[in-house]
Amino acid sequence: MKSEPQPAYLNLINQLLTCPSGEEQEILNTHPELLDDGLVVAMLEKADNLREQGKLNKANWLKNFAGIPGKVDGDFLAGIALKAEADRLLKQGIQ
């Protein structure tokens, strides 16, 4: 059973999905407290939901972007993204 992502993560993800191109970094910089593995997991889950709804462009953008926020703090979030994706795939295999 999936746990629901925190509303703050979902709000940030929606801001990223709807902002003009190029403003993503500014949005991330205003929410440093959310730049953790929980955000990456929420991004991957949201991407899966978007794909199920047939919104493939947004799903692909979000999934790709989940690895890009690492540029904010070096490769910190990029490493978290890899771990979060591995954990998610492991959970899918167990279910």
Domain boundaries, the chain: 7-94
How far is the C-alpha of 8 from the C-alpha of 34, rounded, in Å?
8
Mean pLDDT of the chain: 81
Burial of 62 (0-12, 13-18, 19+ CB in 10 A): buried
In this prediction, residue 95 carries a pLDDT of 60
For the residues 49-74, what does the mean pLDDT come to? 78
Which pLDDT tens digit goes with each residue over 16-59? Answer: 999 999 898 899 889 989 988 888 889 988 998 999 999 999 99
Output the pLDDT for position 92.
76
